[in-house]
Amino acid sequence: MGSYWSESRYYLHVQLADVESPIWRKMVVPGAISLHTLHKMLQVVMGRDNAHLYLFRLTINEKTMVYGLPDPDWDDTGMRIRDSRRTKLDATVWAEWLKLTYEYDLGDSWLHQITIEKIEHLADENWNEDALWITPRCLAGERACPPEDAGGIGGYTSLLESLQDPKHPEHERLRQWVGASYDPKLFSVQQANSALAILK
């Protein structure tokens, strides 16, 4: 995906909610990206396939704003969905104390808490060609994300139990389903950044 021209850098901590062993990532992204672009970056660093709908939610003064891609299915919910492709990160989350919730796969409902750890504004005197081009990067993380279509938190918990017990009646089937290389304990910063570099 290369670098972006931006006047700010956002340092984010992203953590999957409600799992027993923490699954988290730290990343730095340009403030000028859209929330839809942030979604695509989150898919990469979390190890997802971008196969489902998503929503961002931001609550300020007890008012919740929801961002996502327009979809006819939303019309029946009465929920106003703001277009995430037209919404910039730095115009939405403008302070470090604000928190975004990112929900991916509205069936399995994987909830991620996004904490803005630091916003770095580039001072006027530092504006130059090098300083303004910001490359998104994953800085750290732990554990692999649950596989796509794992069935939410309950399904993921059952999956881990079956994988850890060779005598479990579902062990062989589920091991074949997730693939021999799937290890819930593994995460590679290098692989995440390699994937970010070619993201379109």
Shared domain check, 154 and 112: no
**DSSP helix, strand, coil percent of the chain (3-state; round to 5):** 30, 30, 40
Within a 13 Å sphere around the CA of 10, how many CA atoms are in the beta-carbon half?
Answer: 29
Shared domain check, 10 and 91: yes
pLDDT > 90 in the chain, percent: 68
pLDDT, tens digit, 9 for 90 and up, residues 33-44: 999 999 999 999
Whole-number pLDDT of residue 79? 76
pLDDT, tens digit, 9 for 90 and up, residues 52-104: 999 999 999 889 999 999 877 665 566 789 999 999 999 999 999 999 999 99
DSSP annotation of 144: P
Whole-number pLDDT of residue 176? 87
Q: How far apart are CA 38 and CA 31, in angstroms?
A: 10
- CATH number for the domain including 11? 3.10.290.30
Q: How far apart are CA 73 and CA 12, in angstroms?
A: 30
Shared domain check, 136 and 61: yes
SS3 29: strand
Q: Find the length of the chain.
A: 200
Shared domain check, 156 and 97: no
Whole-number pLDDT of residue 74? 61
Shared domain check, 116 and 44: yes
Shared domain check, 70 and 43: yes
Cβ(68)–Cβ(75) under 8 Å? no
Q: How far apart are CA 59 and CA 25, in angstroms?
A: 22
Cβ(110)–Cβ(152) under 8 Å? yes
SS3 74: helix
The domain total for the chain is 2
Shared domain check, 170 and 105: no
Give the domain range for residue 109.
4-145+185-197
Shared domain check, 170 and 132: no
Shared domain check, 189 and 160: no
Shared domain check, 171 and 77: no
Shared domain check, 105 and 79: yes
Shared domain check, 177 and 151: yes
Is the pLDDT reported for residue 154 higher than 80? yes
Q: Positive or negative CA dihedral for 23, 98, 101, 40?
A: negative
Is the pLDDT reported for residue 131 higher than 60? no
Whole-number pLDDT of residue 34? 97
